[in-house]
Protein backbone atom coordinates (compact mmCIF):
# COMPACT_ATOMS: atom_id res chain seq x y z
CA UNK A 1 0.00 0.00 0.00
CA UNK A 2 1.51 3.34 -1.08
CA UNK A 3 0.86 6.59 0.79
CA UNK A 4 2.04 10.16 0.22
CA UNK A 5 3.29 11.49 3.55
CA UNK A 6 6.46 13.21 2.35
CA UNK A 7 7.69 14.18 -1.13
CA UNK A 8 10.47 11.61 -0.73
CA UNK A 9 7.86 8.80 -0.65
CA UNK A 10 7.71 9.05 -4.43
CA UNK A 11 10.61 8.90 -6.85
CA UNK A 12 11.43 11.67 -9.32
CA UNK A 13 10.13 9.39 -12.09
CA UNK A 14 6.84 8.97 -10.20
CA UNK A 15 6.58 12.74 -9.65
CA UNK A 16 7.15 13.28 -13.37
CA UNK A 17 4.50 10.63 -14.14
CA UNK A 18 1.94 12.34 -11.84
CA UNK A 19 2.69 15.68 -13.53
CA UNK A 20 2.33 14.05 -16.96
CA UNK A 21 -1.04 12.62 -15.87
CA UNK A 22 -2.13 16.08 -14.65
CA UNK A 23 -1.15 17.57 -18.02
CA UNK A 24 -3.14 14.83 -19.78
CA UNK A 25 -6.15 15.56 -17.54
CA UNK A 26 -5.95 19.26 -18.50
CA UNK A 27 -5.97 18.32 -22.21
CA UNK A 28 -8.50 15.46 -22.03
CA UNK A 29 -10.93 16.20 -19.18
CA UNK A 30 -13.71 13.93 -20.51
CA UNK A 31 -11.40 10.90 -20.55
CA UNK A 32 -11.09 11.07 -16.73
CA UNK A 33 -14.66 12.00 -15.82
CA UNK A 34 -15.63 8.52 -14.57
CA UNK A 35 -12.31 6.90 -13.67
CA UNK A 36 -13.15 7.07 -9.92
CA UNK A 37 -16.84 6.18 -10.25
CA UNK A 38 -17.91 4.29 -7.11
CA UNK A 39 -14.82 5.41 -5.15
CA UNK A 40 -14.89 7.63 -2.06
CA UNK A 41 -12.39 10.18 -0.77
CA UNK A 42 -12.45 11.02 2.96
CA UNK A 43 -11.17 14.50 3.80
CA UNK A 44 -10.12 14.58 7.47
CA UNK A 45 -9.18 18.18 8.16
CA UNK A 46 -8.21 18.87 11.78
CA UNK A 47 -6.86 22.33 10.79
CA UNK A 48 -8.45 25.09 8.63
CA UNK A 49 -8.07 24.99 4.85
CA UNK A 50 -9.67 26.52 1.78
CA UNK A 51 -7.58 25.44 -1.21
CA UNK A 52 -6.37 22.00 -0.18
CA UNK A 53 -9.65 20.59 1.13
CA UNK A 54 -11.83 22.07 -1.59
CA UNK A 55 -9.43 21.23 -4.41
CA UNK A 56 -9.32 17.61 -3.19
CA UNK A 57 -13.13 17.66 -3.09
CA UNK A 58 -13.41 19.20 -6.55
CA UNK A 59 -10.75 16.80 -7.89
CA UNK A 60 -12.63 13.71 -6.70
CA UNK A 61 -15.93 15.05 -8.07
CA UNK A 62 -14.33 15.68 -11.48
CA UNK A 63 -13.05 12.09 -11.47
CA UNK A 64 -16.63 10.84 -10.92
CA UNK A 65 -16.12 9.84 -7.28
CA UNK A 66 -17.72 10.92 -4.01
CA UNK A 67 -16.41 12.75 -0.95
CA UNK A 68 -17.11 12.48 2.80
CA UNK A 69 -15.30 13.79 5.85
CA UNK A 70 -15.03 16.64 8.31
CA UNK A 71 -13.55 20.13 8.11
CA UNK A 72 -13.66 20.74 11.85
CA UNK A 73 -12.38 18.07 14.21
CA UNK A 74 -14.68 19.47 16.93
CA UNK A 75 -17.65 18.01 15.03
CA UNK A 76 -16.13 14.51 15.02
CA UNK A 77 -15.35 11.99 17.76
CA UNK A 78 -11.84 13.44 17.91
CA UNK A 79 -13.43 15.90 20.36
CA UNK A 80 -14.19 12.90 22.62
CA UNK A 81 -10.54 11.89 22.60
CA UNK A 82 -10.45 9.42 19.68
CA UNK A 83 -6.91 8.92 18.41
CA UNK A 84 -5.63 9.36 14.85
CA UNK A 85 -4.99 5.59 14.69
CA UNK A 86 -8.56 4.67 15.63
CA UNK A 87 -10.05 7.38 13.40
CA UNK A 88 -8.32 6.02 10.28
CA UNK A 89 -9.13 2.41 11.19
CA UNK A 90 -12.77 3.52 11.15
CA UNK A 91 -12.48 5.56 7.95
CA UNK A 92 -10.81 2.60 6.23
CA UNK A 93 -14.28 0.96 6.47
CA UNK A 94 -16.04 3.87 4.78
CA UNK A 95 -13.72 5.25 2.09
CA UNK A 96 -11.11 4.28 -0.52
CA UNK A 97 -8.56 7.05 0.09
CA UNK A 98 -7.96 9.65 2.83
CA UNK A 99 -6.58 13.20 2.65
CA UNK A 100 -5.57 14.33 6.15
CA UNK A 101 -4.52 17.75 7.42
CA UNK A 102 -3.42 18.08 11.02
CA UNK A 103 -1.80 20.80 13.11
CA UNK A 104 0.25 18.12 14.88
CA UNK A 105 3.36 17.00 13.02
CA UNK A 106 3.49 13.33 12.08
CA UNK A 107 -0.25 12.67 12.39
CA UNK A 108 -0.54 11.54 8.72
CA UNK A 109 2.43 9.17 9.20
CA UNK A 110 0.68 7.59 12.19
CA UNK A 111 -2.47 7.33 10.06
CA UNK A 112 -0.53 5.48 7.34
CA UNK A 113 0.58 2.85 9.87
CA UNK A 114 -3.03 1.97 10.73
CA UNK A 115 -4.88 2.53 7.46
CA UNK A 116 -5.99 -0.11 4.94
CA UNK A 117 -6.39 2.64 2.29
CA UNK A 118 -3.95 5.25 0.93
CA UNK A 119 -3.25 8.27 3.17
CA UNK A 120 -2.31 11.62 1.67
CA UNK A 121 -0.67 14.20 3.91
CA UNK A 122 -2.57 17.41 3.21
CA UNK A 123 -0.25 19.39 5.51
CA UNK A 124 1.01 18.50 9.02
CA UNK A 125 1.95 21.41 11.27
CA UNK A 126 5.17 23.10 10.15
CA UNK A 127 6.54 19.86 8.79
CA UNK A 128 5.44 18.97 5.25
CA UNK A 129 2.84 19.63 2.56
CA UNK A 130 3.63 17.28 -0.34
CA UNK A 131 0.49 17.94 -2.41
CA UNK A 132 1.28 21.67 -2.37
CA UNK A 133 4.69 20.66 -3.73
CA UNK A 134 3.09 18.70 -6.57
CA UNK A 135 0.96 21.80 -7.23
CA UNK A 136 4.07 23.99 -7.29
CA UNK A 137 5.95 21.61 -9.58
CA UNK A 138 3.07 21.40 -12.05
CA UNK A 139 2.84 25.20 -12.02
CA UNK A 140 6.58 25.65 -12.65
CA UNK A 141 6.42 23.07 -15.44
CA UNK A 142 3.45 24.81 -17.11
CA UNK A 143 4.77 28.34 -16.64
CA UNK A 144 8.48 27.84 -17.40
CA UNK A 145 8.48 24.56 -19.32
CA UNK A 146 11.09 22.86 -17.12
CA UNK A 147 11.88 21.61 -13.62
CA UNK A 148 15.65 21.94 -13.91
CA UNK A 149 18.12 24.82 -14.26
CA UNK A 150 16.15 27.15 -12.01
CA UNK A 151 17.12 29.81 -9.50
CA UNK A 152 14.39 30.01 -6.88
CA UNK A 153 14.14 32.55 -4.07
CA UNK A 154 12.14 31.49 -0.99
CA UNK A 155 10.94 34.53 0.93
CA UNK A 156 9.19 34.97 4.29
CA UNK A 157 8.64 32.30 6.93
CA UNK A 158 11.08 29.55 6.02
CA UNK A 159 11.12 28.09 9.55
CA UNK A 160 7.47 27.13 9.95
CA UNK A 161 6.66 27.12 6.21
CA UNK A 162 5.87 23.48 5.43
CA UNK A 163 5.38 24.24 1.73
CA UNK A 164 8.97 25.53 1.54
CA UNK A 165 10.38 22.45 3.30
CA UNK A 166 8.59 20.06 0.94
CA UNK A 167 9.41 22.01 -2.23
CA UNK A 168 13.12 22.27 -1.39
CA UNK A 169 13.20 18.49 -0.78
CA UNK A 170 11.55 17.85 -4.15
CA UNK A 171 13.57 20.35 -6.22
CA UNK A 172 16.85 19.15 -4.71
CA UNK A 173 16.39 15.97 -6.77
CA UNK A 174 16.39 17.90 -10.08
CA UNK A 175 19.44 19.18 -11.98
CA UNK A 176 20.77 22.74 -11.90
CA UNK A 177 18.74 24.09 -8.96
CA UNK A 178 19.98 27.20 -7.11
CA UNK A 179 18.31 28.21 -3.86
CA UNK A 180 18.23 31.70 -2.35
CA UNK A 181 16.81 32.12 1.16
CA UNK A 182 15.27 35.45 2.16
CA UNK A 183 13.98 35.41 5.74
CA UNK A 184 14.29 37.23 9.05
CA UNK A 185 16.83 35.70 11.45
CA UNK A 186 14.04 34.22 13.59
CA UNK A 187 12.37 32.50 10.61
CA UNK A 188 15.38 30.98 8.85
CA UNK A 189 15.17 27.60 7.15
CA UNK A 190 15.76 24.77 9.69
CA UNK A 191 19.46 23.95 9.60
CA UNK A 192 18.84 20.24 9.05
CA UNK A 193 17.08 20.95 5.72
CA UNK A 194 19.95 23.13 4.58
CA UNK A 195 22.53 20.53 5.62
CA UNK A 196 20.77 17.24 4.87
CA UNK A 197 18.86 18.31 1.76
CA UNK A 198 20.64 21.27 0.09
CA UNK A 199 24.27 20.54 1.01
CA UNK A 200 23.94 16.76 0.64
CA UNK A 201 22.58 17.19 -2.89
CA UNK A 202 25.15 19.89 -3.81
CA UNK A 203 22.46 22.54 -4.25
CA UNK A 204 24.09 25.99 -4.18
CA UNK A 205 22.24 27.74 -1.34
CA UNK A 206 22.74 31.21 0.08
CA UNK A 207 21.00 33.55 2.46
CA UNK A 208 20.43 37.20 1.58
CA UNK A 209 18.95 40.11 3.53
CA UNK A 210 16.60 41.58 0.89
CA UNK A 211 14.62 40.36 -2.10
CA UNK A 212 15.75 43.43 -4.09
CA UNK A 213 19.39 42.30 -4.22
CA UNK A 214 18.53 39.00 -5.94
CA UNK A 215 15.41 39.94 -7.91
CA UNK A 216 17.14 40.23 -11.33
CA UNK A 217 18.56 36.69 -11.17
CA UNK A 218 15.48 34.77 -10.01
CA UNK A 219 13.41 32.48 -12.22
CA UNK A 220 10.91 31.97 -9.39
CA UNK A 221 10.10 34.09 -6.35
CA UNK A 222 8.28 31.86 -3.86
CA UNK A 223 6.55 34.15 -1.34
CA UNK A 224 5.14 32.84 1.93
CA UNK A 225 2.98 34.17 4.72
CA UNK A 226 4.32 34.71 8.24
CA UNK A 227 1.94 32.30 9.97
CA UNK A 228 0.36 33.76 13.08
CA UNK A 229 -0.96 30.34 14.14
CA UNK A 230 2.59 28.93 14.52
CA UNK A 231 3.85 31.59 16.98
CA UNK A 232 3.76 31.08 20.74
CA UNK A 233 4.70 34.75 21.27
CA UNK A 234 2.24 37.22 19.70
CA UNK A 235 4.65 40.15 20.10
CA UNK A 236 7.24 38.31 18.03
CA UNK A 237 4.65 37.68 15.32
CA UNK A 238 3.70 41.38 15.26
CA UNK A 239 7.36 42.35 14.93
CA UNK A 240 8.04 39.92 12.07
CA UNK A 241 4.79 39.79 10.14
CA UNK A 242 5.63 42.47 7.57
CA UNK A 243 9.35 41.69 7.20
CA UNK A 244 9.17 41.19 3.44
CA UNK A 245 6.54 42.70 1.17
CA UNK A 246 6.52 42.28 -2.61
CA UNK A 247 5.02 45.18 -4.55
CA UNK A 248 4.85 46.22 -8.21
CA UNK A 249 7.78 48.57 -7.79
CA UNK A 250 10.13 45.81 -6.58
CA UNK A 251 8.96 43.55 -9.39
CA UNK A 252 10.29 46.03 -11.99
CA UNK A 253 13.80 44.61 -11.48
CA UNK A 254 12.71 41.01 -12.14
CA UNK A 255 13.16 39.03 -15.35
CA UNK A 256 10.30 39.37 -17.82
CA UNK A 257 9.58 35.65 -17.50
CA UNK A 258 10.13 35.28 -13.75
CA UNK A 259 7.09 33.86 -11.93
CA UNK A 260 5.79 34.75 -8.49
CA UNK A 261 4.39 31.76 -6.60
CA UNK A 262 2.63 31.70 -3.23
CA UNK A 263 0.87 28.70 -1.68
CA UNK A 264 -1.76 31.15 -0.33
CA UNK A 265 -3.50 32.39 1.73
CA UNK A 266 -1.61 35.70 1.56
CA UNK A 267 -2.01 38.51 4.02
CA UNK A 268 0.26 41.54 3.46
CA UNK A 269 3.30 39.96 1.84
CA UNK A 270 2.16 40.61 -1.75
CA UNK A 271 0.38 43.87 -2.43
CA UNK A 272 -2.68 43.92 -4.69
CA UNK A 273 -0.85 45.89 -7.39
CA UNK A 274 1.14 42.73 -8.21
CA UNK A 275 -1.97 40.63 -8.94
CA UNK A 276 -2.46 41.80 -12.52
CA UNK A 277 1.18 41.42 -13.51
CA UNK A 278 1.44 38.40 -15.87
CA UNK A 279 4.28 37.10 -13.71
CA UNK A 280 1.92 36.71 -10.74
CA UNK A 281 1.16 33.00 -11.10
CA UNK A 282 -0.37 32.32 -7.68
CA UNK A 283 -3.99 32.09 -8.77
CA UNK A 284 -3.06 29.89 -11.74
CA UNK A 285 -1.15 27.82 -9.16
CA UNK A 286 -4.41 27.26 -7.25
CA UNK A 287 -6.10 25.73 -10.29
CA UNK A 288 -3.10 23.50 -10.91
CA UNK A 289 -3.67 22.17 -7.38
CA UNK A 290 -6.95 20.65 -8.49
CA UNK A 291 -5.46 19.03 -11.59
CA UNK A 292 -2.47 17.56 -9.79
CA UNK A 293 -4.69 16.22 -6.97
CA UNK A 294 -6.87 14.56 -9.63
CA UNK A 295 -3.73 12.91 -10.99
CA UNK A 296 -2.61 11.90 -7.49
CA UNK A 297 -5.94 10.39 -6.43
CA UNK A 298 -6.13 8.46 -9.71
CA UNK A 299 -2.55 7.21 -9.32
CA UNK A 300 -2.78 6.21 -5.64
CA UNK A 301 -6.04 4.32 -6.21
CA UNK A 302 -4.44 2.48 -9.13
CA UNK A 303 -1.43 1.56 -6.97
CA UNK A 304 -3.77 0.44 -4.15
CA UNK A 305 -5.56 -1.94 -6.53
CA UNK A 306 -2.22 -3.39 -7.64
CA UNK A 307 -0.83 -3.68 -4.06
CA UNK A 308 -3.59 -3.81 -1.43
CA UNK A 309 -2.77 -3.50 2.29
CA UNK A 310 -1.66 -6.74 3.92
CA UNK A 311 -1.17 -7.93 7.49
CA UNK A 312 -1.94 -6.57 10.91
CA UNK A 313 -1.69 -2.92 11.97
CA UNK A 314 0.43 -1.06 12.79
CA UNK A 315 2.43 -1.58 9.60
CA UNK A 316 5.78 -0.01 10.38
CA UNK A 317 8.72 0.67 8.11
CA UNK A 318 11.40 -1.78 9.28
CA UNK A 319 14.20 0.61 8.31
CA UNK A 320 13.10 2.82 11.22
CA UNK A 321 14.62 2.50 14.68
CA UNK A 322 12.37 1.76 17.68
CA UNK A 323 13.43 3.36 20.92
CA UNK A 324 11.85 4.92 23.99
CA UNK A 325 13.53 8.33 23.51
CA UNK A 326 11.30 11.37 23.86
CA UNK A 327 10.99 13.59 20.78
CA UNK A 328 12.11 17.14 21.61
CA UNK A 329 9.24 18.78 19.70
CA UNK A 330 6.02 19.58 21.54
CA UNK A 331 4.28 19.78 18.17
CA UNK A 332 5.05 16.12 17.42
CA UNK A 333 2.33 13.44 17.46
CA UNK A 334 4.64 11.25 19.58
CA UNK A 335 4.16 13.75 22.43
CA UNK A 336 0.39 13.98 21.94
CA UNK A 337 -0.79 10.40 21.41
CA UNK A 338 0.36 6.93 22.42
CA UNK A 339 2.32 5.90 19.31
CA UNK A 340 5.40 3.77 18.64
CA UNK A 341 8.51 5.92 19.13
CA UNK A 342 10.29 5.74 15.77
CA UNK A 343 13.48 7.34 14.50
CA UNK A 344 15.62 7.29 11.42
CA UNK A 345 19.37 7.39 11.35
CA UNK A 346 20.83 10.13 9.12
CA UNK A 347 24.07 9.92 7.12
CA UNK A 348 25.59 12.24 9.76
CA UNK A 349 24.88 9.67 12.50
CA UNK A 350 22.02 11.71 14.02
CA UNK A 351 18.71 10.17 15.01
CA UNK A 352 15.69 12.13 13.81
CA UNK A 353 12.12 11.59 14.90
CA UNK A 354 10.31 9.75 12.08
CA UNK A 355 7.17 11.85 12.64
CA UNK A 356 8.48 15.43 12.73
CA UNK A 357 12.22 15.14 11.89
CA UNK A 358 13.34 16.82 15.14
CA UNK A 359 16.85 15.75 16.09
CA UNK A 360 16.63 13.39 19.05
CA UNK A 361 20.12 11.96 19.58
> Which residue ranges make up the site for ligand CP (CB under 6 A)?
49-52, 123, 132, 263-265
Distance in Å, CB of 11 to ligand CP, minimum: 24
Minimum distance between the CB of residue 145 and ligand CP, rounded to whole angstroms?
Answer: 24
CB of 123 to ligand CP, least distance (A): 6
Least Å distance between CB 348 and ligand CP?
A: 31
Question: Cis peptide before 314, with omega less than 30 degrees from 0?
Answer: yes
How far apart CA 145 and CA 148 sit, in angstroms, is 9
Under 8 Å between Cβ of 159 and 186: yes
Beta carbon of residue 231, minimum distance to ligand CP (angstroms, whole number): 17
User: In the complex with ligand CP, which residue's Cβ is closer, 71 or 335?
Assistant: 71
Q: How far is the CB of 51 from ligand CP (least distance, A)?
A: 4
Decide whether 280 or 327 has the Cβ nearer to ligand CP: 280
CB closer to ligand CP, 47 vs 196: 47
Measured from the CB atom, the residue of 51 and 250 that comes closer to ligand CP is 51
Which C-beta is closer to ligand CP: that of 167 or that of 264? 264
Dihedral pair phi/psi, residue 232, rounded to 5°: -85, -25
Per-residue burial over 42-51, b = 16 or more CB atoms within 10 Å of its CB, e = otherwise: bbbbbbebeb
Cis status, amide bond into 265, omega within 30 of 0: yes
- Other Cβ atoms closer than 10 A to 279: 16
Can you tell me the distance from the alpha carbon of 275 to that of 50, in angstroms, rounded to the nearest whole number? 19
Comparing CB distances to ligand CP, the nearer of 228 and 255 is 228
CB of 267 to ligand CP, least distance (A): 13
- Beta-carbon contacts of 267 under 8 Å, excluding residues fewer than 6 positions away, are 225, 226, 241
Distance of closest approach, residue 102 Cβ to ligand CP, in angstroms: 12
By beta-carbon proximity to ligand CP, the closer residue of 107 and 215 is 107
4 burial class (0-12, 13-18, 19+ CB within 10 angstroms)? Answer: buried
**Would you say 181 and 208 are in contact if contact means Cβ atoms under 8 Å apart?**
yes
What angle do helix axes 282-306 and 130-144 make, rounded to 10 degrees?
A: 120
Please report how close the Cβ of residue 174 comes to ligand CP at its closest, in angstroms.
22
The smaller minimum CB distance to ligand CP, of residues 30 and 74, is found at 74
- Element (H or E) spanning 281, and its range? none
Based on CB atoms, which residue is closest to ligand CP, 54 or 61? 54
Give 10-16's long-range contacts (Cβ < 8 A, gap of 24+). Answer: 12/173, 12/174, 14/299, 15/134, 15/137, 15/170, 16/147
3-class SS at 99?
Answer: strand
Provide the 3-class DSSP secondary structure of residue 351: strand
- CB closer to ligand CP out of 132 and 205: 132
The rounded distance, in Å, linking the Cα atoms of 220 and 181 is 12
CB of 311 to ligand CP, least distance (A): 33
Amino acid sequence: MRHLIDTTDISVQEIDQIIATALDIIENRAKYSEVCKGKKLATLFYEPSTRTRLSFTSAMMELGGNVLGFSDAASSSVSKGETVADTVRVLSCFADIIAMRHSVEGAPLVASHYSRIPIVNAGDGSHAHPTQTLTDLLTIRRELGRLNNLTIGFCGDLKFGRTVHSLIKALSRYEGINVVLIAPEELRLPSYIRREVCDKNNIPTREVATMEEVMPELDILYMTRVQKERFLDEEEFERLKDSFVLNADKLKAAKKDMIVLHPLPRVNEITRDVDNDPRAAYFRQVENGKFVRMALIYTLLKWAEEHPAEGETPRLDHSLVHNDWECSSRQCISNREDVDKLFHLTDDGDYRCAYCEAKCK
